[in-house]
């Protein structure tokens, strides 16, 4: 019912910025909470940020709070992750995910996933 495609990843130097986009398609895509997760080589997937269906609430991992901002454009069924002050530890594949119902930080509760976009931050 929901298809997700991430874009905007790339190579950036420490201190730089990137904006990731997640294009969602489907009749009821705007009714889903949307989240961002990331996975670095050799590490488990971790929560980054999530935004509610009505964009009324957001939540962030402590590691990115104050540096990343999640937002969504309901008219375009697109969610964004604006990332500033990027650090090498932010290097990972970033995944967009969607779920029905309230926001959650548990990846297992998201039913739809994109294929990911690589973000690499050099020292």
Per-residue pLDDT tens over the stretch 49-66: 999 987 789 999 999 999
CA distances from 12 to 15, 59, 86, 87 (A): 8, 25, 8, 9
Percent of the chain with pLDDT over 90: 81
β-strand partners of 65:
none
Question: Could you give the CA distance from residue 34 to residue 14 in angstroms, rounded to a whole number?
Answer: 27
| pLDDT given for residue 1 in this prediction | 76
The residue ranges of the chain whose pLDDT is under 70 are: 27-30
3-state helix, strand, coil split of the chain in percent (to 5) is 10, 50, 40
Question: Could you give the CA distance from residue 12 to residue 15 in angstroms, rounded to a whole number?
Answer: 8
Q: What is the pLDDT of residues 88-99, one digit of tens each?
A: 999 999 999 999
| pLDDT given for residue 28 in this prediction | 65
The answer to whether the CB of 123 falls within 8 A of the CB of 88 is yes
Strands 58-60 and 92-99: unpaired
Close Cβ partners of 80 (under 8 Å, ≥ 6 residues apart): 19, 20, 21, 22, 70, 71, 72, 73
């Amino acid at each position: 019912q929901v298809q997700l495609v991430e874009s905007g990843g790339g190579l950036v130097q420490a201190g730089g910025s990137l904006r990731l986009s997640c294009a969602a398609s489907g009749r009821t895509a705007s009714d889903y909470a949307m989240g961002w997760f990331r996975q670095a080589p050799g590490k488990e997937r971790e929560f980054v940020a999530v935004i509610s269906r009505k964009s009324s609430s957001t939540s962030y991992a402590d590691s990115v709070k104050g540096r990343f901002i999640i937002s969504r454009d309901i008219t375009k069924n697109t969610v964004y992750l604006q990332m500033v002050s990027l650090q090498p530890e932010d290097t990972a594949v970033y995944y967009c995910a969607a779920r029905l119902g309230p926001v959650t930080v548990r990846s297992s509760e998201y039913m739809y996933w994109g294929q990911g976009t690589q973000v690499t931050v050099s020292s």
